[in-house]
Chains A and B, each alone.
Chain A
Amino acid sequence: EIVMTQSPATLSVSPGERATLSCRASQTVTTNLAWYQQKPGQAPRLLIYGASTRATGIPARFSGSGSGTEFTLTISSLQSEDFAVYYCQQYNDWPPTFGQGTKVEI
């Protein structure tokens, strides 16, 4: 199965700053890559699919890029509600697999 590796494990940023999260696949997943946000006690929320397409209702400050094995989620100007754990997931190959997550904290 494809192994997804996220970095860093924890990202410390201030409100208003830019955050850049990385996700690497052990083999190519083309652009079959999704990003999720999870806050404590809440269900994960789909942010990005197809590596760069924002899901319905997701603010424009969230953007995804990359293809093949290297992907990036960028939050252009962090808001207080953006502090959470972010997961990437590949769906190019079965079974679908997730990264271990990046915690974005103040």
Chain B
Amino acid sequence: QVQLVESGGGLVKPGGSLRLSCAASGFTFSDYYMNWIRQAPGKGLEWVSYISSSGNTIYYADSVKGRFTISRDNAKNSLYLQMNSLRAEDTAVYSCARLPAATYWYFDLWGRGTLVTVSS
């Protein structure tokens, strides 16, 4: 079954850290470009970060640059998001999502997401 499953969310205090994981199955993970996208409560979708299939090219949204780090382990079919210096405004459901190809920036497969709550 082709799917993405996120884990690692939870409650963290402002300034704290959290590492999210995304497990891929049912397709050749190493062939695809991956992303993290978040949705704050009652808000719209916000693209957060991108990593190329090899991991050599990485992009971040300005809102998380310098605080978040995306990575992947193709041998484990897994995508990660290390989140440091967390703020209340980072509270959201974080989903991993796949690009169908490098030049097409729409997302053809999404996970259900994992909730990150930043609160004291």
Contacts and interface: CB of A to CB of B under 8 A. Distances in A.
Interface of A: 32, 34, 36, 41-46, 49, 55, 87, 89, 91, 94-101
Contact of A34 (B106, B109, B113): B106
A97 B97 CA distance: 14
A3 to B, nearest CB: 11
A55 to B, nearest CB: 7
A34 B97 CA distance: 14
Contact of B107 (A41, A42, A46, A97): A46
Contacts of B104: 49, 91
B112 A96 contact: no
B61 interface: yes
Contacts of B43: 100
Contacts of B46: 98
Give chain B's interface residue range (CB within 8 Å of chain A). 20 to 34
B106 A95 contact: no
Main secondary structure of the interface of A (DSSP, over half): loop
Nearest to B95: A43
Interface in B98-120: 104-113
Given A46-B106, A49-B104, A89-B106, A95 B61 contact: yes
Nearest to B100: A49
The winner among B43, B45, B59, B107 for most chain A CB atoms within 10 A is B45
Given A91-B104, A95-B61, A45 B44 contact: no
A52 to B, nearest CB: 13
B112 A43 contact: yes
B47 interface: yes
Contact of B44 (A46, A96, A100): A100
B25 to A, nearest CB: 14
Interface in B34-79: 43-47, 59, 61
Nearest to B110: A43
| Residue in B43, B59, B61, B107 whose Cβ sees the most chain A Cβ within 10 Å | B107
Nearest to A33: B106
A43 B106 contact: no
A51 B109 CA distance: 18
